[in-house]
């Protein structure tokens, strides 16, 4: 498994943070929290960059609410500035992890239109170009994100990402903070 060493500076670069901001605002440009962030866009981007480079970045508390559409789910939403950081991190680590996923894995990666096109391709194949019947199995793993073994996920991340500072971006949310690249 190929690993990438120190790319923390790439995460904190102006170009990456600006790209991350653009991605975070997609379909949200009319939201008050995006408009507020945009009022001082350069200052906000510089502030995030400085916090990252000085190891002072601290995520805001999650906003939790219940969504009933169509099933009841507990949703935890990050503050917009934290979503900018999430996108900045994904911009750098996605190319590393993406090639390890199966081609048809779409969730939060390739978008709905890709998933629909793949489904239609398999639908044509199974039904012999719609000339016969077929079946589709839809499944959901109950409480997957709450139940997944985080120790296994962390060990996979550690094999791929050698940069302690990059790995610590997640640890900060757990109530610990980072100083000089070390969790305290």
pLDDT digits (tens, 9 = 90+) for 5-38: 557 889 999 999 999 999 999 999 999 999 999 9
Same domain membership, residue 69 and residue 18 = yes
Distance CA 61, CA 47 (A): 18
Question: Is 63 domain-assigned?
Answer: yes
| 122 and 83 belong to one structural domain | no
* Claim to verify: residue 39 and residue 126 sit in the same structural domain: no
Whether residue 50 is found in the same domain as residue 109: no
> DSSP letter at 161?
B
> Residue 108 sits in which domain range?
104-133
Q: What is the pLDDT of residues 53-91, one digit of tens each?
A: 998 898 999 999 998 888 888 888 999 999 999 999 999
Specify whether 40 is located in the same domain as 117.
no
How far apart CA 94 and CA 27 sit, in angstroms, is 21
Residues 71 and 162 reside in one and the same domain? yes
Q: How many domains in the chain? A: 2
Q: Is residue 3 part of a domain?
A: no
Domain-embedded: residue 156: yes
Query: Is 2 a member of any domain?
Result: no
Is 175 a member of any domain? yes
Q: How far apart are CA 96 and CA 100, in angstroms?
A: 8
149 — phi, psi (to 5°)? -75, 105
Residues 90 and 63 in one domain: yes
For the entire predicted model, the pTM comes to: 0.77
Q: Does residue 119 lie within any of the structural domains? A: yes
Co-location of 42 and 91 in the same domain:
yes
Give yes or no: residues 113 and 78 share one domain.
no
Q: How confident is the model at residue 4 (pLDDT cuts 50, 70, 90)?
A: low
Residues 54 and 95 in one domain: yes
- Is residue 89 domain-shared with residue 161, that is, in the same domain? yes
């Amino acid at each position: 498994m190929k690993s990438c060493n120190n790319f923390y500076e790439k995460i904190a670069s102006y170009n990456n943070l600006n790209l991350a901001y653009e991605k975070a605002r997609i379909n949200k440009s009319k939201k008050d929290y995006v408009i507020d962030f945009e009022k001082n866009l350069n200052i906000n981007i510089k502030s995030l960059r400085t916090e990252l480079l000085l190891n002072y970045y601290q995520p805001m508390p999650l906003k939790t609410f219940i969504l009933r559409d169509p099933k009841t789910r507990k949703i935890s939403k990050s503050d917009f500035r934290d979503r900018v950081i999430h996108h900045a991190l994904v911009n750098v680590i996605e190319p590393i992890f993406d090639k390890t996923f199966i081609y048809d894995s779409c969730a939060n990666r390739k978008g709905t239109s890709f998933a629909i096109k793949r489904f239609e391709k398999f639908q044509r194949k199974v039904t012999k170009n719609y000339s016969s019947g077929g079946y589709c199995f839809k499944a959901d793993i109950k409480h997957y994100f709450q139940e997944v073994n985080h120790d296994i996920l962390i060990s996979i991340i550690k094999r791929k990402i050698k940069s302690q500072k990059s790995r610590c971006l997640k640890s900060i949310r757990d109530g610990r903070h980072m100083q000089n690249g070390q969790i305290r």
